[in-house]
Protein backbone atom coordinates (compact mmCIF):
# COMPACT_ATOMS: atom_id res chain seq x y z
CA UNK A 1 0.00 0.00 0.00
CA UNK A 2 1.03 3.62 -0.19
CA UNK A 3 3.57 4.54 2.45
CA UNK A 4 3.38 7.90 4.14
CA UNK A 5 6.63 9.87 4.41
CA UNK A 6 8.09 7.87 7.23
CA UNK A 7 10.90 8.89 9.50
CA UNK A 8 13.37 6.13 10.34
CA UNK A 9 11.59 5.19 13.56
CA UNK A 10 8.28 4.85 11.77
CA UNK A 11 9.90 2.79 9.05
CA UNK A 12 11.41 0.37 11.56
CA UNK A 13 8.09 -0.01 13.38
CA UNK A 14 6.39 -0.70 10.04
CA UNK A 15 8.96 -3.37 9.16
CA UNK A 16 8.54 -5.05 12.55
CA UNK A 17 4.73 -4.94 12.32
CA UNK A 18 4.72 -6.83 9.05
CA UNK A 19 7.69 -9.13 9.61
CA UNK A 20 7.30 -9.63 13.41
CA UNK A 21 11.04 -9.49 14.21
CA UNK A 22 14.39 -8.44 12.78
CA UNK A 23 17.99 -8.15 13.91
CA UNK A 24 19.79 -4.82 13.83
CA UNK A 25 21.89 -6.02 10.90
CA UNK A 26 18.75 -6.89 8.91
CA UNK A 27 17.14 -3.55 9.70
CA UNK A 28 20.32 -1.72 8.76
CA UNK A 29 20.13 -3.19 5.27
CA UNK A 30 16.41 -2.55 4.92
CA UNK A 31 16.48 1.12 5.93
CA UNK A 32 19.79 1.87 4.23
CA UNK A 33 21.60 3.11 7.33
CA UNK A 34 24.81 2.01 9.03
CA UNK A 35 24.68 -0.45 11.89
CA UNK A 36 25.71 2.21 14.46
CA UNK A 37 22.93 4.55 13.24
CA UNK A 38 20.41 1.73 13.27
CA UNK A 39 21.53 0.63 16.73
CA UNK A 40 20.95 4.16 18.03
CA UNK A 41 17.37 4.19 16.72
CA UNK A 42 16.69 0.71 18.11
CA UNK A 43 17.99 1.76 21.52
CA UNK A 44 15.72 4.83 21.51
CA UNK A 45 12.67 2.73 20.62
CA UNK A 46 13.60 0.18 23.29
CA UNK A 47 14.11 2.91 25.90
CA UNK A 48 10.51 4.00 25.28
CA UNK A 49 9.42 0.36 25.56
CA UNK A 50 7.97 0.45 22.03
CA UNK A 51 10.03 -2.56 21.01
CA UNK A 52 11.50 -5.45 22.99
CA UNK A 53 14.03 -8.21 22.43
CA UNK A 54 12.68 -11.31 20.72
CA UNK A 55 15.33 -13.94 21.18
CA UNK A 56 18.35 -14.66 19.00
CA UNK A 57 18.53 -15.01 15.24
CA UNK A 58 19.92 -18.26 13.76
CA UNK A 59 23.69 -18.47 13.82
CA UNK A 60 25.61 -17.65 10.65
CA UNK A 61 28.93 -18.03 12.41
CA UNK A 62 30.04 -16.08 15.44
CA UNK A 63 27.75 -14.50 18.01
CA UNK A 64 24.03 -14.85 17.28
CA UNK A 65 22.38 -11.43 16.85
CA UNK A 66 19.46 -10.27 18.98
CA UNK A 67 16.12 -9.88 17.22
CA UNK A 68 13.61 -7.15 18.08
CA UNK A 69 9.84 -7.01 17.86
CA UNK A 70 7.02 -4.56 18.67
CA UNK A 71 6.00 -4.67 22.32
CA UNK A 72 2.47 -6.11 22.12
CA UNK A 73 1.88 -5.30 25.81
CA UNK A 74 1.80 -1.55 25.24
CA UNK A 75 -1.95 -1.42 25.81
CA UNK A 76 -2.45 -0.03 22.30
CA UNK A 77 -5.06 -1.55 20.00
CA UNK A 78 -6.81 -1.23 16.65
CA UNK A 79 -10.55 -1.53 16.05
CA UNK A 80 -10.92 -3.30 12.70
CA UNK A 81 -14.25 -3.34 10.83
CA UNK A 82 -14.93 -5.37 7.66
CA UNK A 83 -18.16 -4.64 5.81
CA UNK A 84 -19.56 -6.51 2.82
CA UNK A 85 -22.89 -6.28 1.02
CA UNK A 86 -24.77 -8.32 3.61
CA UNK A 87 -22.66 -8.66 6.78
CA UNK A 88 -20.51 -6.45 8.99
CA UNK A 89 -17.74 -7.81 11.20
CA UNK A 90 -15.56 -6.23 13.88
CA UNK A 91 -12.69 -7.22 16.15
CA UNK A 92 -9.99 -5.51 18.18
CA UNK A 93 -6.38 -6.42 17.41
CA UNK A 94 -3.24 -5.74 19.40
CA UNK A 95 -0.09 -4.63 17.62
CA UNK A 96 0.88 -8.24 16.92
CA UNK A 97 -2.41 -8.72 15.05
CA UNK A 98 -3.70 -10.98 17.80
CA UNK A 99 -7.43 -10.82 18.48
CA UNK A 100 -8.24 -9.22 21.82
CA UNK A 101 -12.01 -9.67 21.47
CA UNK A 102 -14.21 -12.25 19.80
CA UNK A 103 -14.93 -11.59 16.13
CA UNK A 104 -18.46 -10.16 16.09
CA UNK A 105 -20.59 -10.47 12.93
CA UNK A 106 -24.05 -9.08 12.25
CA UNK A 107 -26.36 -9.33 9.25
CA UNK A 108 -26.40 -5.84 7.75
CA UNK A 109 -27.60 -5.26 4.19
CA UNK A 110 -25.98 -2.20 2.62
CA UNK A 111 -29.01 -1.43 0.49
CA UNK A 112 -30.98 -0.67 3.66
CA UNK A 113 -29.66 2.90 4.02
CA UNK A 114 -31.87 3.83 6.95
CA UNK A 115 -30.47 1.20 9.30
CA UNK A 116 -27.06 0.17 8.06
CA UNK A 117 -25.01 3.02 9.59
CA UNK A 118 -26.65 2.63 13.01
CA UNK A 119 -26.03 -1.12 12.81
CA UNK A 120 -22.34 -0.53 12.13
CA UNK A 121 -22.11 1.87 15.08
CA UNK A 122 -23.88 -0.65 17.33
CA UNK A 123 -21.46 -3.38 16.25
CA UNK A 124 -18.46 -1.18 17.02
CA UNK A 125 -19.86 -0.19 20.41
CA UNK A 126 -20.44 -3.84 21.28
CA UNK A 127 -16.86 -4.69 20.32
CA UNK A 128 -15.39 -1.82 22.34
CA UNK A 129 -17.48 -2.76 25.37
CA UNK A 130 -16.02 -6.24 25.40
CA UNK A 131 -12.94 -5.05 27.25
CA UNK A 132 -11.29 -1.98 28.72
CA UNK A 133 -10.94 -0.14 25.43
CA UNK A 134 -11.25 3.63 25.18
CA UNK A 135 -9.91 6.72 23.45
CA UNK A 136 -6.59 6.44 25.25
CA UNK A 137 -5.65 2.96 24.10
CA UNK A 138 -7.28 2.64 20.66
CA UNK A 139 -4.86 3.93 17.99
CA UNK A 140 -7.64 4.19 15.46
CA UNK A 141 -10.50 2.58 13.59
CA UNK A 142 -10.03 0.87 10.22
CA UNK A 143 -13.11 0.32 8.06
CA UNK A 144 -13.20 -1.48 4.72
CA UNK A 145 -16.34 -1.73 2.62
CA UNK A 146 -17.54 -2.25 -0.96
CA UNK A 147 -18.04 0.64 -3.31
CA UNK A 148 -16.29 3.65 -4.76
CA UNK A 149 -14.30 4.38 -1.63
CA UNK A 150 -12.07 7.45 -1.65
CA UNK A 151 -9.58 6.66 1.09
CA UNK A 152 -8.16 10.21 1.07
CA UNK A 153 -11.47 12.08 1.23
CA UNK A 154 -13.02 9.50 3.53
CA UNK A 155 -16.09 9.06 1.37
CA UNK A 156 -17.96 6.25 -0.34
CA UNK A 157 -19.21 7.54 -3.70
CA UNK A 158 -21.51 4.54 -4.16
CA UNK A 159 -24.00 6.53 -2.10
CA UNK A 160 -25.06 9.33 -4.41
CA UNK A 161 -27.01 11.13 -1.71
CA UNK A 162 -24.35 13.06 0.15
CA UNK A 163 -26.71 13.47 3.08
CA UNK A 164 -26.50 9.78 3.92
CA UNK A 165 -24.06 8.99 6.71
CA UNK A 166 -22.53 6.25 4.60
CA UNK A 167 -21.25 8.79 2.07
CA UNK A 168 -19.19 10.64 4.69
CA UNK A 169 -18.62 7.52 6.76
CA UNK A 170 -15.12 8.49 7.95
CA UNK A 171 -16.32 11.85 9.26
CA UNK A 172 -19.45 10.37 10.83
CA UNK A 173 -17.58 7.58 12.63
CA UNK A 174 -14.89 9.97 13.87
CA UNK A 175 -17.56 12.31 15.23
CA UNK A 176 -19.33 9.43 16.96
CA UNK A 177 -16.29 7.78 18.57
CA UNK A 178 -13.78 10.65 18.70
CA UNK A 179 -11.09 8.35 17.28
CA UNK A 180 -8.99 8.61 14.11
CA UNK A 181 -10.79 6.63 11.41
CA UNK A 182 -9.50 5.38 8.07
CA UNK A 183 -11.51 3.76 5.29
CA UNK A 184 -10.66 1.59 2.32
CA UNK A 185 -12.37 -0.45 -0.39
CA UNK A 186 -12.94 -4.04 0.74
CA UNK A 187 -11.02 -5.70 -2.11
CA UNK A 188 -8.15 -3.25 -1.70
CA UNK A 189 -7.98 -4.06 2.03
CA UNK A 190 -7.83 -7.76 1.20
CA UNK A 191 -5.00 -7.10 -1.26
CA UNK A 192 -3.14 -5.15 1.46
CA UNK A 193 -3.46 -8.13 3.81
CA UNK A 194 -2.28 -10.59 1.17
CA UNK A 195 0.62 -8.33 0.19
CA UNK A 196 1.89 -8.03 3.74
CA UNK A 197 0.83 -11.27 5.43
CA UNK A 198 -0.39 -13.65 2.74
CA UNK A 199 0.40 -15.26 -0.60
CA UNK A 200 1.33 -11.97 -2.31
CA UNK A 201 4.32 -11.41 -0.05
CA UNK A 202 7.64 -11.07 -1.85
CA UNK A 203 5.80 -10.78 -5.17
CA UNK A 204 6.11 -7.52 -7.11
CA UNK A 205 3.25 -8.17 -9.57
CA UNK A 206 0.14 -9.89 -8.25
CA UNK A 207 -3.63 -9.78 -8.49
CA UNK A 208 -5.81 -10.57 -5.49
CA UNK A 209 -9.34 -11.73 -6.29
CA UNK A 210 -11.93 -11.17 -3.59
CA UNK A 211 -14.49 -13.96 -4.05
CA UNK A 212 -17.63 -12.99 -2.18
CA UNK A 213 -21.13 -11.86 -2.97
CA UNK A 214 -19.50 -10.16 -5.94
CA UNK A 215 -16.01 -10.61 -7.39
CA UNK A 216 -13.55 -7.87 -6.44
CA UNK A 217 -9.94 -7.28 -7.38
CA UNK A 218 -6.87 -5.74 -5.79
CA UNK A 219 -3.96 -4.95 -8.12
CA UNK A 220 -0.31 -4.85 -7.03
CA UNK A 221 2.21 -3.54 -9.58
CA UNK A 222 5.89 -3.04 -8.75
CA UNK A 223 5.09 -3.74 -5.07
CA UNK A 224 2.54 -0.91 -4.98
CA UNK A 225 -1.24 -0.86 -5.03
CA UNK A 226 -2.53 0.21 -8.40
CA UNK A 227 -5.71 2.28 -8.05
CA UNK A 228 -6.13 3.75 -11.53
CA UNK A 229 -6.66 7.37 -12.54
CA UNK A 230 -9.82 7.92 -10.48
CA UNK A 231 -8.88 5.46 -7.74
CA UNK A 232 -11.44 2.83 -8.72
CA UNK A 233 -9.38 0.26 -10.62
CA UNK A 234 -10.35 -3.35 -9.95
CA UNK A 235 -14.07 -3.49 -10.79
CA UNK A 236 -13.58 -7.10 -11.85
CA UNK A 237 -17.21 -8.04 -11.13
CA UNK A 238 -18.43 -5.94 -14.02
CA UNK A 239 -16.34 -7.30 -16.88
CA UNK A 240 -18.98 -8.31 -19.47
CA UNK A 241 -18.19 -12.03 -19.86
CA UNK A 242 -21.55 -13.58 -19.01
CA UNK A 243 -24.22 -14.61 -21.52
CA UNK A 244 -26.85 -14.65 -18.78
CA UNK A 245 -29.82 -12.32 -18.95
CA UNK A 246 -29.73 -11.82 -15.19
CA UNK A 247 -29.37 -8.25 -14.02
CA UNK A 248 -26.20 -7.46 -12.10
CA UNK A 249 -26.26 -5.42 -8.91
CA UNK A 250 -25.02 -2.51 -11.05
CA UNK A 251 -28.19 -2.69 -13.15
CA UNK A 252 -26.56 -4.05 -16.30
CA UNK A 253 -26.52 -7.48 -17.96
CA UNK A 254 -23.53 -9.63 -18.82
CA UNK A 255 -21.40 -8.88 -15.75
CA UNK A 256 -19.07 -11.59 -14.49
CA UNK A 257 -20.51 -11.58 -10.97
CA UNK A 258 -23.92 -12.92 -12.06
CA UNK A 259 -22.23 -16.28 -12.71
CA UNK A 260 -18.90 -16.23 -10.86
CA UNK A 261 -19.77 -15.08 -7.31
CA UNK A 262 -20.88 -16.94 -4.20
CA UNK A 263 -24.32 -15.42 -4.66
CA UNK A 264 -24.49 -16.88 -8.16
CA UNK A 265 -23.46 -20.34 -6.92
CA UNK A 266 -26.13 -20.31 -4.18
CA UNK A 267 -28.79 -19.13 -6.67
CA UNK A 268 -27.83 -21.89 -9.11
CA UNK A 269 -28.20 -24.52 -6.37
CA UNK A 270 -31.56 -23.07 -5.33
CA UNK A 271 -32.84 -23.17 -8.91
CA UNK A 272 -31.80 -26.82 -9.30
CA UNK A 273 -33.50 -27.76 -6.04
CA UNK A 274 -36.70 -26.02 -7.14
CA UNK A 275 -36.61 -27.99 -10.39
CA UNK A 276 -36.56 -31.24 -8.42
CA UNK A 277 -32.87 -32.11 -8.09
CA UNK A 278 -32.06 -34.03 -4.91
CA UNK A 279 -29.39 -32.86 -2.50
CA UNK A 280 -28.73 -32.58 1.22
CA UNK A 281 -28.46 -28.87 0.52
CA UNK A 282 -32.25 -28.74 0.52
CA UNK A 283 -32.15 -28.66 4.31
CA UNK A 284 -29.43 -26.00 4.55
CA UNK A 285 -30.15 -23.23 2.05
CA UNK A 286 -32.03 -20.49 3.90
CA UNK A 287 -32.64 -16.76 3.70
CA UNK A 288 -29.42 -16.32 5.68
CA UNK A 289 -26.85 -15.77 2.92
CA UNK A 290 -23.88 -16.45 5.18
CA UNK A 291 -25.31 -19.74 6.42
CA UNK A 292 -26.28 -20.74 2.87
CA UNK A 293 -22.87 -19.97 1.38
CA UNK A 294 -21.07 -21.78 4.20
CA UNK A 295 -23.38 -24.78 3.76
CA UNK A 296 -22.78 -24.79 0.01
CA UNK A 297 -19.01 -24.77 0.42
CA UNK A 298 -18.98 -27.39 3.18
CA UNK A 299 -21.36 -29.64 1.26
CA UNK A 300 -19.13 -29.41 -1.81
CA UNK A 301 -16.07 -30.29 0.26
CA UNK A 302 -18.03 -33.27 1.64
CA UNK A 303 -18.83 -34.49 -1.87
CA UNK A 304 -22.39 -33.25 -2.49
CA UNK A 305 -22.85 -33.34 -6.25
CA UNK A 306 -25.18 -30.35 -6.54
CA UNK A 307 -22.92 -28.18 -4.38
CA UNK A 308 -19.90 -29.21 -6.45
CA UNK A 309 -21.79 -28.48 -9.67
CA UNK A 310 -22.77 -24.99 -8.46
CA UNK A 311 -19.24 -24.06 -7.47
CA UNK A 312 -17.59 -25.55 -10.54
CA UNK A 313 -19.93 -23.52 -12.75
CA UNK A 314 -18.88 -20.37 -10.92
CA UNK A 315 -15.25 -21.50 -11.03
CA UNK A 316 -15.25 -21.85 -14.80
CA UNK A 317 -16.70 -18.36 -15.26
CA UNK A 318 -14.20 -17.00 -12.77
CA UNK A 319 -11.48 -18.72 -14.80
CA UNK A 320 -12.60 -16.85 -17.92
CA UNK A 321 -12.16 -13.63 -16.00
CA UNK A 322 -8.76 -14.76 -14.73
CA UNK A 323 -7.71 -15.56 -18.30
CA UNK A 324 -8.61 -12.00 -19.28
CA UNK A 325 -6.57 -10.60 -16.40
CA UNK A 326 -3.55 -12.71 -17.32
CA UNK A 327 -3.55 -11.35 -20.86
CA UNK A 328 -3.90 -7.74 -19.71
CA UNK A 329 -1.70 -7.64 -16.61
CA UNK A 330 0.77 -10.55 -17.00
CA UNK A 331 0.98 -11.03 -13.20
CA UNK A 332 3.40 -13.32 -11.40
CA UNK A 333 0.64 -14.52 -9.07
CA UNK A 334 -3.12 -14.50 -8.83
CA UNK A 335 -4.41 -15.14 -5.31
CA UNK A 336 -7.95 -16.33 -4.62
CA UNK A 337 -8.96 -14.64 -1.38
CA UNK A 338 -12.04 -13.44 0.47
CA UNK A 339 -14.96 -15.46 1.77
CA UNK A 340 -15.11 -17.79 -1.22
CA UNK A 341 -11.47 -18.84 -1.00
CA UNK A 342 -12.60 -21.59 1.37
CA UNK A 343 -13.92 -23.32 -1.76
CA UNK A 344 -10.55 -22.91 -3.48
CA UNK A 345 -9.89 -26.60 -4.01
CA UNK A 346 -13.28 -26.94 -5.75
CA UNK A 347 -12.85 -23.78 -7.84
CA UNK A 348 -9.23 -24.28 -8.83
CA UNK A 349 -9.62 -27.13 -11.39
CA UNK A 350 -12.30 -25.19 -13.28
CA UNK A 351 -10.28 -21.99 -13.17
CA UNK A 352 -7.30 -23.87 -14.59
CA UNK A 353 -9.51 -25.43 -17.28
CA UNK A 354 -10.64 -21.98 -18.39
CA UNK A 355 -7.07 -20.67 -18.34
CA UNK A 356 -5.97 -23.58 -20.53
CA UNK A 357 -8.86 -22.93 -22.90
CA UNK A 358 -8.65 -19.16 -23.22
CA UNK A 359 -5.07 -18.15 -22.44
CA UNK A 360 -2.02 -18.06 -24.68
CA UNK A 361 0.16 -20.75 -23.02
CA UNK A 362 3.36 -18.72 -23.20
CA UNK A 363 1.73 -16.02 -21.06
CA UNK A 364 -0.32 -18.26 -18.75
CA UNK A 365 2.67 -20.43 -17.84
CA UNK A 366 4.31 -17.42 -16.20
CA UNK A 367 1.40 -16.93 -13.78
CA UNK A 368 0.65 -19.11 -10.76
CA UNK A 369 -2.84 -19.21 -9.24
CA UNK A 370 -2.89 -19.80 -5.48
CA UNK A 371 -5.45 -20.02 -2.68
CA UNK A 372 -5.17 -17.60 0.24
CA UNK A 373 -4.27 -19.04 3.63
CA UNK A 374 -5.71 -16.04 5.51
CA UNK A 375 -9.19 -17.63 5.38
CA UNK A 376 -11.97 -15.19 6.31
CA UNK A 377 -9.65 -12.82 8.16
CA UNK A 378 -8.02 -11.08 5.17
CA UNK A 379 -10.38 -8.10 5.12
CA UNK A 380 -10.16 -7.58 8.88
CA UNK A 381 -6.37 -7.79 8.79
CA UNK A 382 -6.24 -5.35 5.89
CA UNK A 383 -8.45 -2.89 7.78
CA UNK A 384 -6.04 -3.05 10.72
CA UNK A 385 -3.03 -2.48 8.46
CA UNK A 386 -4.59 0.77 7.25
CA UNK A 387 -4.74 2.12 10.80
CA UNK A 388 -1.18 1.14 11.60
CA UNK A 389 0.16 2.75 8.42
CA UNK A 390 -1.45 6.10 9.12
CA UNK A 391 -0.88 6.05 12.88
CA UNK A 392 2.86 5.39 12.89
CA UNK A 393 3.82 8.95 13.74
CA UNK A 394 1.41 8.92 16.67
CA UNK A 395 2.69 5.51 17.73
CA UNK A 396 6.39 6.36 17.87
CA UNK A 397 5.58 9.48 19.90
CA UNK A 398 3.58 7.71 22.60
CA UNK A 399 6.05 8.82 25.23
DSSP state of 247: B
Asked whether 51 and 45 are in contact (CB, 8 A), the reply is yes
Q: Look at residue 52 and tell me if it is in a domain.
A: yes
User: Which backbone phi and psi does 80 adopt, to 5 degrees?
Assistant: -110, 130
Q: Does 356 share its domain with 232?
A: yes
Residue 22: band (very low, low, confident or very high) from pLDDT cuts 50, 70, 90: very high
CATH number, residue 145: 3.30.420.40
User: Which backbone phi and psi does 194 adopt, to 5 degrees?
Assistant: -65, -35
Query: What pLDDT shows up at residue 251?
Result: 81
**Domain span at 26:** 6-68
pLDDT of 2 over the 60 cut: no
Segment (H or E) for 107: strand 104-107
Q: Does 302 share its domain with 385?
A: no
Q: Return the percent helix, strand and coil in the chain, to nearest 5.
A: 45, 20, 35
Distance CA 211, CA 322 (A): 12
Query: What pLDDT shows up at residue 1?
Result: 43
Q: Does 177 share its domain with 115?
A: yes
Q: Does 238 share its domain with 132?
A: no
Query: What pLDDT shows up at residue 171?
Result: 96
Count Cβ atoms below 10 Å from residue 136 Cβ, excluding itself.
8
Q: Which among 68, 99, 121 is the end of a domain?
A: 68
pLDDT of 289 over the 90 cut: no
Q: Does 113 share its domain with 151?
A: yes
Query: What pLDDT shows up at residue 209?
Result: 96
Q: What is the pTM of this model?
A: 0.92
pLDDT in tens, 167-216: 999 999 999 999 999 999 999 999 999 999 999 998 999 999 999 999 99
What's the structural domain count of the chain? 3
pLDDT of 261 over the 80 cut: yes
Distance CA 269, CA 357 (A): 25
Residues 6 or more apart whose Cβ sits within 8 Å of residue 106: 87, 88, 89, 119, 122, 123
Amino acid sequence: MEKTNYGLKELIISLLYYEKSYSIADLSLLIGKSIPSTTKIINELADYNLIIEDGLAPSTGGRRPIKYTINSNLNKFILSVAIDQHYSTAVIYDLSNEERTPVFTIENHLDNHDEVFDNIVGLMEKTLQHGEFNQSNILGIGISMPGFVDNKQGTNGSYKDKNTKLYYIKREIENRFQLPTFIENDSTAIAIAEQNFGKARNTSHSLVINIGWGVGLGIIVDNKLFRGYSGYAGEFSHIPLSDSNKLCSCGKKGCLEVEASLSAAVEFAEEKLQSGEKSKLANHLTNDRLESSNSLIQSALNGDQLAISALTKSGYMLGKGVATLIHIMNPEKIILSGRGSQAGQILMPQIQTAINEFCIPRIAQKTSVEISDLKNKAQLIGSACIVLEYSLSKFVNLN
